[in-house]
Amino acid sequence: MPSFSPVLRDATYIEQQHMKKVPNRHPNFAILAFSLALSLLVSPTLTAQDDAAAAASTEAAADAGDGSPCGPGDAAKGKQLFNQNCAACHALDRRMTGPALANVATRLTEEEGLDCDWIYGWIRNSAGVIASGDSYANSIYNEYNQAAMTAFPTLSDQDINDILAYTEAPPPAPAAAAVPAGGGTGDPAAQSGISNEIILGALALVFALLVMMLFLVNRTLRRIAEANGVMVEKEKAEKGLPIWKAFAQNQFLVLVTVIFLMLGAAYFAYGWLMQVGVDQGYAPIQPIHYSHKIHAGDNGIDCKYCHSSARVSKHSGIPSLNVCMNCHKSIYEYKGNPEGPSAEDLANGYTNEFYTGEIKKLYAAVGWDEETQSYANEPKPVEWVRIHNLPDFAYFNHSQHVSVGKIECQTCHGPVEEMEIMYQYSPLTMGWCINCHRETNVQMEGNDYYEKIHEELAKKYGVEQVTAAQMGGLECGKCHY
Amino acid sequence: MASNKKYWKSEVELSADASIVETLRQNEFPEQLPVDAFLGEKEQLASSQTSRRDFLKYVGFSTAAASLAACEGPVHKSIPYVVQPERIIPGVANYYATTIADGFDFASILVKTREGRPIKIERNKEAAFKGDTNARIQASVLSLYDSTRLQGPRNAEGDVEWDVLDATVKARLASLASSGKQVALLTQTYASPSTDRLIAQFAERYGNVTHVSYDAVGENAALDAYQAKYGERALADYDFSKADLIVSFGADFLGDWQGGGYDSGYAAGRVPKAGKMSRHVHFEANMSLSGANADKRVPLSPAHQKIALAKLFAALNGSSAGGELPEAAARAVEELAAAVAKAGRKAVVVTGLQDADAQAVVLAMNEMLGSEAFQPEAPRYTRQGDAKALEQLMADMQAGKVGVLLMDGVDPLYTLPNAAAFAEALGKVDLSVAFSTNRTATTEAATFTAAASHYLESWGDTQLKKGHYGLTQPVIRQLFDTRQFQQSLLTWMGEEQTWYDFVRETWEGGILSGADWNKALHDGFFAGAAMADPEMGATAQQDKENAEGEGATSTVADLAGAVSRLAAAQTAEKTLVLYSKVGMGDGRQAGNPWLQEFPDPITRVSWDNYLTVSKKDAQALGLVNKYAANGGLDGSYVNITVNGTTVSGVPVVIQPGQAEGTFGLAFGYGKTTGLKAEMQTGVNAFPLYQGFDTAQEVSIEKAAGMHEFACIQLQKTLMGRGDIIKETTLEIFNTKDAAEWNHVPQVSLNHQEVPATTVDLWDSFDRSIGHHFNMSIDLNACTGCGACVIACHAENNVPVVGKEEIRKSRDMHWLRIDRYYSSEDTFEGDNVKKDEFSGALESKRGFEEMEDPAANPQVAFQPVMCQHCNHAPCETVCPVAATAHSRQGHNHMAYNRCVGTRYCANNCPYKVRRFNWFLYNNNDEFDYHMNNDLGKMVLNPDVNVRSRGVMEKCSWCIQMTQKSILDAKREGRAVTDEEFQTACSNACSSGAIVFGDINDPESEVSKLKADARMYHLLEHVGTQPNVFYQVKVRNTDEA
């Protein structure tokens, strides 16, 4: 096969370097065992208990909440409203696009001398307050880069009171974090019933006992025999030709063996050669530890939210950093999934702090200054390591498969929503492509493009469904030009 | 009758002792491999230090090293945008409408960009006035990525900052007011309303400013004539589609005559519709594209053309004019006068003679005829050059009256006939600034070289034709530290305004008259209200008539004088006729490898210019063309002298159809400054362009030596198989049955003659479902301009191989335009004679007798690409199944599968397969655009770059059809007929190439397939091509 030029199809888009092939992630068996043990220890009941505790404490806080200076409010309802309307730009204890809102009503009434009507007015129509020449309104407007606050004319006084109540006395953080994970020393077996492992362990013990008993019985019998003067004769091996010599002398056998050895060697050599250039399982270390598991799995973000060009382009597209910042402007730290990091994650070092550190890497790359909430720094584009590499002579179009063929991303990319570290799931060999084209029916329904073709096919051959291969999906020129 | 005319590709084929022709007919590669030269030297081989054992060691080591290296793949980095521009989706092309106005070429175009890089120029089909894209415009995208471009301002010491340049110029401009010296602007033709306004403001600001427009290859005479008659410096426009009879006196309107771009109108009238087509009579000296397409071509020297023009005008007036013409020409003029008189309003006369009298007579004649094709009321502004003003400027410079000289888009030190005088005058200017994209002779001599932006990086506007405006917008940010001339003027005037704002102001202030700027910018063109408003048109008409009324007496007197001056034209013994080639123009893109490698449509020579000589003159001067053993063309050298100026070492091409006593030489070559060594080809013809007249009295003497041409003329002969071009006359076409003039070859089946198309060795695929692509090429509409060839290069990443490789017939053009000469007048005689031949000897002698090599041949152009045969001979011989068929009609070529046996190329009856003899990218031996990062930016990311040892060929732009299909699938709709295009069909402004789906009965191509003119190339071979041609019809009706 001729070598192909390194002139890349997208010369500016991709930079080429020499490889530091990163080994696949081999889960350490010790870690595996440890995590198994941990998973046994942290039982569902335990976490359920935590949830209950957290819920209880929230309720307690709500009951205890006596609202803000502007009047009583329901903090639980306030939290809901806050998350719906405010959280995109405000946090309780942290500057974001807008100021931190913890105790905002108290602060404004006591420090700035503003009344609640000002607050209501501001929330419903901040631009109007600014335009009226209000000094505090203008100062805060200028302080936050003249970012206009969305007007919320639909919020009632009571809604605002609820929100303010939440900002005055936010429900305490879930207690779950306080409970040391895996710290429980209770008897797990007793709690969750007799597990399979226990049964297996018991069986193993029984077998071991049996073996030992057999050995002991044997020894005892031998002793008895000796004591009785019975000589147990060891069978003497017959002096004859050693088996390997006999084998060597049988030329036919040697020939057959050699042939089989050669065939075997050829089989393995072929197998080895065929995997050259196939990078299935390739999971390079990326400059930012991006977890598809958290994004696509835990948070259920649609693949095409970030990889939007997969719908219309041949490239799925690595999302540009402004797409990341759509969410990460407000999501500045990782708080873990509700259960907290799993034991396995902890063993890998995937703590909340670790993930938060990765978000900071994103900020550094995009030039985001958290203090001023602005893109103040010089951006440093992220050099991701490309995982799925098709050779230049193969044309592949994502939109054809995603939009037209309506194929799930997971069909080729595997369970991405479970991948902590992204890896190449499929071999991406031509045989693999062809196989799928042979087996997959073309999505003709509801697509006017296929209307005529479908009609003719039905008329001519009486078939309702055709595979991609029958539509010409195996022709060389469809992918190689 | 079917045309059994003998076609010949070169006059060498007609000479008796041309054994090379026979050799080439038998062997595609006539030269033996030079192994003897290598193995023959036994001594050297023996003395070699490298033993056989060493050799094997090296081989073993390198194999092992290569296999080890192959085990590790490279790491690819993907770097996404930090903030992705809204309109850029990686992998999806964006199109922007803009206008090219580089001073020589003017057209509305679309630019295809991928990931922000312009990669292809397309025609803007929506534009009301297109100014069709020719080969140079198609290739201009590569000039953007020229690695020799100026990357910032410079002076004699080296690079400088713009600040320094600005400060110096501003200081000088300020000090000029007191010194009384003038500021002079010497620029290309802009035809730009905003630039005119800007220069007016600049003149107001600084006073004493002169602006001189200068065209390297100008139309002074035509401009002067139009100005004298209509009071405006412009060129009358012609719509040839409205003419039934087109008469041209040396006007190559399919080439660069008056800015070019007349193809589509011309071709529209050339396709027979309801038994009618236009008739084209052409008088010219050189064989030009227009002459090659003419129904009747009369080779005539420029002086004789003047006389002929005078005689025609006189005959139409019922008077007579003096002057002697050769007998054949005199008869032709007589017949023509009758025909013109008969055609009346449907006739049009044009001339390319650089003579104000001739131009004035033509304007008067068209007006007299009331020619419908003649549009003086809406003239073109694409040529503005003023020779007199330039002369005055040079005199002022010489006298030291010019303090500051600002130049943009011109290279007078290369293009002026009296460049030395200009250089001397330039030395007397205090400060000169030359704007240019590349280093030129002029930038080297100027005080400052200002790096100008390429038009794809620029803002601008153009009034292509009265009422038809084009907007230029940047499609990429400046690649280098460059600035536009207009922006610089604004800076020097101390304006804060940007050039973009200035253009917008001009448009919103006047041109748009209320229309939306964004829409105009989006469309790239704007047809002004002047055209749409009938009242305005009527007023203009009224004005015109008034003007005529007033000046009637003087005009008549002037005309009579002009006619008598024309009739008195003296014929020189030898006349040099200078012309510009469609591939090179005035030479401003001489550094563009696509254009250098583009074979001239007429001579099929690339990488050179040359003196075209008629066979008779060649014999008289002892000049020869010979074919070297490897099929390359060699030609004698001559020295040519015009008025004391000698250009020596000009190679000679013997050109059939060249008028006796005339010699042709193309502009645009022989440039040396700022070009890579490979691009410094040919000789500079500008020193001979004295008085800006293309016709010059010349003396020619033979020089020693032979020149090696890179000509693809005798290469890829069709191995003696005829019936390639079917041709008939309009009379036969209209009166006889199609079987007569479009005869299907017969073969014997079961001892019966049956049409070859009905016999088949193979079973056919069922192609009735889905798409089945076909392509139609109309030989009547094809003018041979070659825009498709360059479009194909750009779309398909076709490599440039260089002169040496072309000479070895290793050209890589996927699409070639074959040019065949034939013989006139002996049409019937030929057939009779040919039928009577018996035996090889007699037929050989017979053919030689039959045709007179010095006669004036008819010419046919035939674009040939892969014919995508349904029963492709290449597919059956490929040992690795690298080339295979699709049910959509494509013949696929899987490069990654190809092992390079070249069996397919040998078995292809059309010789359209191209072999990669070398690695043409990243290879210093081929230092063209694919050898540097900048030039590689033009590559189409959707098409593979082929490597060494791989066969390649036309893919019918499968990436484009696949895209159209995918777009339709994604949007859930049927594909429309217009969506199916290839690069060549898209680029074809004459509509000769039509591509589409024949399973769609409504498509244009399926209608063309049913046309009686349809035929396949080499039908008798039974390849069943998916490309078909339309029989060429000539309108030889005399009246």
Judgement on whether residues B1020 and B877 belong to the same structural domain of the protein: yes
Going by pLDDT thresholds of 50, 70 and 90, the confidence category of residue B953 is: very high
Asked if B896 lies within 8 A of A391 by C-beta distance, the reply is: yes
Which chain B positions have a beta carbon within 8 Å of A312's beta carbon?
Answer: 89, 92, 970
- pLDDT tens-digit series, residues B503-539: 999 999 888 888 899 999 999 999 875 444 443 334 4
Same domain, B276 and B188: no
Q: How far is B895 from chain A (nearest CA, A)?
A: 7
Which letter does DSSP use for residue B1010 in this model? T
- The tokens for B44 are 């050297």
pLDDT at B855: 61
Measured torsion, CA atoms of residues A206, A208, A210, A212, in degrees rounded to the nearest 10: -150
Taking the C-alpha atoms of residue B131 and residue B625, their distance in angstroms, rounded to an integer, is: 37
Residue B51 maps to a domain: no
**Would you tell me how many other CB atoms lie within 10 Å of the CB of residue A346?**
16
In chain B, the number of structural domains is 4
Beta strands in B324-372 (DSSP E): 347-351
Residue that finishes a domain, picked among B380, B403, B431: B380
Is residue B696 within 8 A of residue B575, CB to CB? The reply is yes
Nearest to A403 among B82, B892, B970 (CB): B970
H-helix segments, B160-235? 162-179, 193-206, 220-230
Q: Do B900 and A2 touch (CB under 8 A)?
A: yes
DSSP B419-477: HHHHHHHHHTSSEEEEEESB--HHHHHSSEEEEPPPGGG--EEEEEETTEEEEE--SS-
pLDDT at residue B584, as a whole number: 92
Q: Which residue has the higher pLDDT, B663 or B317?
A: B663
Give the one of A276, A314, A386 whose C-beta lies nearest to B91's C-beta. A314
Task: Please give the single-letter amino acid code of residue B359.
Answer: Q
Integer angstrom CA distances of residue A156 from A118, A124, A132, A153, A161? 14, 9, 22, 8, 9
Predicted confidence (pLDDT) at residue B683 exceeds the cutoff of 90: yes
Residues B620 and B721 occupy one common structural domain:
no
Residue B565 domain flag = no
Alpha-carbon radius of gyration of chain B: 29
Residue spans of chain A under pLDDT 70:
1-67, 170-194, 231-239, 337-340
Helix (H) or strand (E) holding B123: strand B117-123
Residue type, B490: L
Above pLDDT 70, what percent of chain B?
Answer: 88
| Residue B541 lies inside a defined structural domain of this protein | no
In this predicted structure, the answer to whether residue B18 has a pLDDT above a threshold of 70 is: no
pLDDT at residue B419 tops 60? yes
Q: Indicate whether B1 belongs to any domain.
A: no
- Is residue A378 less than 8 Å (CB to CB) from chain B? no
Same domain assignment for residues B429 and B361: no
- The CATH number of whichever domain residue B596 belongs to comes to 2.40.40.20
User: pTM to 2 decimals?
Assistant: 0.81
- CATH number, domain of B825, equals 3.30.70.20
Residue A306 Cα to chain centre, angstroms: 14
The pLDDT of residue A60? 43
Examine residue B837 and state whether it is found in any structural domain, yes or no: yes
Q: Which residues contact A252 (CB under 8 A, 6 or more apart)?
A: none
Using a CB-CB cut-off of 8 Å, the residues of chain B touching A404 are 966, 969-970
Q: A248: exposed, middle or buried (C-beta count within 10 Å: 0-12, 13-18, 19+)?
A: exposed
Domain, as residue range, for B348: 220-380
Residues of A in contact with B950 (CB under 8 A): 2
Query: According to the model, what pLDDT value does residue A82 have?
Result: 83
Residue bearing tokens 């655009």: B929
CA distances from B817 to A17, B734, B984 (A): 42, 28, 12
Q: Among B663, B684, B711, where does a domain finish? A: B711
Distance (Å) from the C-alpha of residue B309 to the closest C-alpha of chain A? 54
Residues B363 and B468 in one domain: no
pLDDT at B381 over 60: yes
CB B360 within 8 A of CB B228: yes
What mean pLDDT is reported for chain B?
86
Chain A partners of B76 at a C-beta cutoff of 8 Å?
14-17, 385-386, 389
Q: For residue B58, tell me if it sits in a domain.
A: no
pLDDT digits (tens, 9 = 90+) for B733-773: 888 888 888 888 888 888 888 888 888 887 877 788 889 99
User: Inter-chain contact B77–A10, Cβ cutoff 8 Å?
Assistant: no
Phi and psi for B1027 in degrees, rounded to 5?
-100, 130
What pLDDT score does B16 carry? 57
Mean local confidence (pLDDT), B947-962:
93
What are the residue boundaries of the structural domains of chain A, listed by start?
62-174, 243-274, 292-440, 441-481
Same domain, B375 and B389: no
Q: Which pLDDT does position A133 carry in this prediction?
A: 80
* Same domain for B998 and B863: yes
Q: How confident is the model at residue B1038 (pLDDT cuts 50, 70, 90)?
A: low
The pLDDT, as a whole number, for residue A193 is 53
pLDDT tens-digit series, residues B1003-1030: 999 999 999 999 999 888 888 899 999 9
> Is there a single domain that holds both residue B512 and residue B593?
no
| Closest alpha carbon within chain A to B969 | A449
Give the chain A residue nearest B769 (alpha carbons): A453
Closest CA of chain B from A454, distance in Å:
9
B804-856 residue pLDDT tens:
999 988 999 999 998 888 765 433 334 444 555 666 666 666 555 544 434 67
A459 touches chain B (CB under 8 A): no
Percent of chain B with pLDDT over 90: 55
- Please indicate whether, in this complex, the C-beta atoms of A13 and B115 are within 8 angstroms of each other: yes
ipTM of the complex: 0.82
Q: Do A477 and B896 touch (CB under 8 A)?
A: no
| Interface contact A15-B886, CB threshold 8 A | no
Give me the mean pLDDT over the B705-714 stretch. 85
A 184-243 residues with CB < 8 A to B: none
* A278 in reach of chain B (CB within 8 A): no
B883 within 8 A of B874, measured Cβ to Cβ: yes
**How confident is the model over B907-927, as a mean pLDDT?**
92
Q: How far apart are CA B1018 and CA B867, in angstroms?
A: 11
State residue B42 phi and psi, 5-degree precision: -60, -40
The answer on pLDDT for B314 being more than 70 is yes
Neighbours of A478 (CB within 10 A): 20
φ, ψ of residue A174 to 5 degrees: the values are -50, 135
**Strand-pair partners of B729:** B1034
Contacts of A326 in chain B (CB under 8 A): none
3-state secondary structure of A370: coil
Rounded mean pLDDT, B876-898: 92
Q: Is residue B355 part of a domain?
A: yes
Q: How many CB atoms lie within 10 A of CB B90?
A: 22
- Is B427 found in the same domain as B359? no
- Tell me which of B766, B897, B970 to substitute to probe the interface with A (most A C-beta atoms closer than 10 Å): B970
Quote the minimal CA–CA distance from A436 to chain B in Å.
19
Mutation target vs A (from B891, B920, B944, B951; most A CBs, 10 A cutoff): B944
What pLDDT does residue B391 have?
Answer: 92
Shortest CB distance from B970 goes to which of A399, A446, A452?
A399
Residue B869: count other Cβ atoms within 10 Å of its Cβ: 25
Say whether domain A62-174 belongs to CATH 3.40.1160.10.
no
Q: Which one has a higher pLDDT value, B550 or A92?
A: A92
The rounded distance, in Å, linking the Cα atoms of B118 and B95 is: 9
- Structure tokens given for A319: 């999302």
Backbone φ and ψ of B612, nearest 5°: -90, 135
Q: How far apart are CA B457 and CA A244, in angstroms?
A: 83
C-alpha distances (whole Å) from B121 to each of A139, A381, B695, B862 are: 53, 31, 34, 23
Return the structure tokens found at B765: 């695929």
Nearest-CA neighbor of B247 among B311, B171, B157? B311
